Amino acid sequence: MPMTVGRLLNTAILRPVTLVAGRPGLDRIVESVNMMDAPDIIEWIRPHQLLISTLYNMREDADGLEQLVPLLVERGCSALGIKAQRYFDKMPNVLIEQADTHHLPLFEIPTELALGVLSHEVTKILLRGEFPVSHGTQFATQRVVQALLTEPRVDVVAHQLSRATRGAVVIVTNDHTVWGQANHSLSADRLASLLECMPRVAGTQRSLQPDKVLIDDLPVERIPAVLNGTVYGTIVLIDPKISSPKLIESSIHALSMAKLRQHLAEERWQQWMHHTVQRLVAGGGSDDLYATSRELGLDGRVGFGVAVGRIDGQNGHRQWLGNHWFRHQSLSSDILEWTLATLKQLGWAPIGALDDDRMVILLSAGQSLGNVRNLSEEAISHFQLISERLASEYDLSLHFALGSLYSSVTHLPFSFREAQEVDAQSGADGTVHVYQSRKAKDVVKVVPPAERARFVEAVLGPLLTMPWAEREVLLRTLEGYFACEGQATDAAKALYVHRNTVLYRLRKLEEILSRSFNDPDDVLTIRLSLLFLANLQ
């Protein structure tokens, strides 16, 4: 059994130390120990190494202390032990916070425990616990570790694994597509035939435990690439001749680093896309901006609208998308990319960006949807399909809020406003919510309050300046008359007055407002002013 930080802390030499942070990382593997206080301490760290130090050279370097833990994690350090009382009053808070954030075990070494003795005893423990491996496997492991420290690329990992195991290697993503491959044993035709069925091979395994199957009479090992609670895909070893757990572990670290680099490379692009999308939905578009949006994929001719997507929760214990370095942000990025790709497959021409904790997706109908009679219903069914797939394949609960689909890209701000309204009102139920309301009272809310007040004053001003009692009687009569669709008899019954009383009050209102109830334009103006008045109150 490999030596972990947790097992090492239970040994006699390390029982006096105090674990102060990073408890979730106690399962990290420890293969060697390093004791140093050099200024360039990071450059000397190797993967699976326990670092013990007094941090003498960082006692007055606040920036160095803040960057220490993330850099150690990047280099693959297993744990950090500090004799804090030597040069610090107490363990620096920044180290504790960073260690908890990055799950790096951080322990305090008591003053009476000499670092030299500690390093010697830990080395003896590690030597007694090592498993014998061949020189060739050790060398291959070192090559993969070096790739991890320099430029972790999926093709490099596949190549080194293929050489070390003397078989073919295919690395598959969580959506069952080939991420990388290498072949040091099979013919090109044989590997090509296996690659054709690789999505099916990878898709049959959702367990996080390695397993072995036979494919075309060849032994195949499927190893989930899991690190710190995140699943980075599956490593498929085809007809391997040599097994190396340490090499697999280093490869998984390299895959996580590759995923991290991919995420960091996409961040600047996402920021630019966010700016572009925000300008389009804010109505600040120009010919150049619209041309850019078409080049990016929003090139449909009809069905322009906006959808807002939000993660309601992750039901599973493992994260099948994103990376463990930036869990929420990278998860959202992967879901957005997955959603856009699925929409394209379904015939839409979308672009999208992240806006804090939500996705903003701009839609337009592609050519294949040109003959669809009801695009809105098609959009609803497609987003429902996406939500169901994310739930079934990745244990993700997602809800989408859809604005109306319009005939022009210039109406995107209207659709975005509607999607925001639906998003604010909908619950976390993992379904699709659609803007439905088309009533005048909902439309008037879009008009700025100052404009509403000015309109009310211009139309109803003479009525509103009358004495309160008379004004209230006439306002109730006006509202009752319109509520009864202009029928004086029905209004009289609703107001508990005689029909002639209603007719008298209406004639008086015509005089006060200088309007006629026989003029459709005047009637619309008065009704609109009443709606504005209700929203002002």
Q: Please give the CATH topology (third level) of the domain spanning 5-129.
A: 3.40.1390
Which residues of the chain form CATH 3.30.70.1230? 282-436
Higher pLDDT, 359 or 427: 359
Cα(344)–Cα(96) distance, rounded to whole angstroms?
45
Work out the pLDDT band at 344, boundaries 50, 70, 90. Answer: very high
In DSSP terms, 397 is beta-bridged to 313
Which pLDDT score is estimated for 443? 65
Contacts of 534 (CB under 8 A, 6+ apart): 441
Cα(145)–Cα(130) distance, rounded to whole angstroms?
18
280: region left, alpha or beta (phi > 0 left; psi from -120 to 50 alpha): alpha
Q: Hey, what are 427's tokens?
A: 């619950």
Tell me if 171 sits within 8 A of 178, measured CB to CB.
Answer: yes
Which pLDDT score is estimated for 343? 93
Work out the pLDDT band at 138, boundaries 50, 70, 90. Answer: low
Which pLDDT score is estimated for 130? 42
Give the closest residue to 320 by CA, choosing from 331, 310, 311, 332.
331
In this predicted structure, the answer to whether residue 129 has a pLDDT above a threshold of 70 is: no
Cα(49)–Cα(47) distance, rounded to whole angstroms?
5
Which residues of the chain form CATH 3.40.1390.20? 5-129
Higher pLDDT, 49 or 43: 49
Cα(307)–Cα(342) distance, rounded to whole angstroms?
14
Which residues of the chain form CATH 3.30.450.40? 135-256
CATH of domain 135-256: 3.30.450.40
Q: Please give the CATH topology (third level) of the domain spanning 282-436.
A: Alpha-Beta Plaits (3.30.70)
Which pLDDT score is estimated for 104? 92
User: Average pLDDT for residues 7-11, to the nearest whole number?
Assistant: 84
Higher pLDDT, 289 or 385: 385
Max Cα distance, the chain (Å): 109
DSSP state of 407: S
Beta strands in 462-504 (DSSP E): none
Tell me if 437 sits within 8 A of 425, measured CB to CB.
Answer: no
Give the C-alpha distances (Å, rounded to integers) separating 512 from 110, 298, 509.
91, 53, 5
Q: Please give the CATH topology (third level) of the domain spanning 445-536.
A: Arc Repressor Mutant, subunit A (1.10.10)
Rounded percentage of the chain residues whose pLDDT exceeds 70: 88
* Model confidence, pTM: 0.57
Which run of H or E residues covers position 122? helix 115-129
Contacts of 263 (CB under 8 A, 6+ apart): 322, 323, 325, 326, 329, 330, 333
Q: What is the pLDDT of residues 139-179, one digit of tens each?
A: 555 555 565 556 567 888 888 788 778 888 999 888 788 88
Which run of H or E residues covers position 212? strand 211-215
Which pLDDT score is estimated for 298? 83
Q: What is the pLDDT of residues 371-423, one digit of tens each?
A: 887 888 899 999 999 998 888 888 888 889 999 898 888 888 989 998 998 88
